[in-house]
Amino acid sequence: MFELVFLVLIGLIFSFLGWRIWKKEQITLIHDYHYTKVIEKDKKPYTEKMGKACIVMGIGMILTGAIDFITTTFYGWIFFGVCFIIGLIIMIFAQLKYNGGLF
């Protein structure tokens, strides 16, 4: 039960932050060295990609908690790994495209 509550809570936080970054374009929720070279016209697509990546990671955490609770197995961690890697790849490509590097 602790795993379910913990992962759902963390997943909701990630999803909420992703939504704020994407829809509200709150680039300041991302560490400043990640967006220092992002030009003004690219801030909207940059925040969109970074926000969506956070939401994908958050959904993976929620699914992990729910699946592990329902099945009492650790199969949910497959969803966590897949969603985390997908989100990370999206973030890396957004960093490279809009910031010119990872840092």
Q: What is the pLDDT of residues 67-90, one digit of tens each?
A: 999 998 888 899 999 999 999 999
pTM over 0.75: yes
Q: Could you tell me the residue ranges of all domains in the chain?
A: 2-99
Q: pLDDT digit string (tens) for 26-51?
A: 888 888 777 778 888 988 998 999 99
SS3 assignment, position 75: coil
Angle at 11 between CA 50 and CA 96, to 5 degrees: 20
pLDDT at 103: 67
Cα→Cα distances 94→42, 88, 89, 90, Å? 10, 10, 9, 6
How large is the C-alpha radius of gyration of the chain?
A: 15
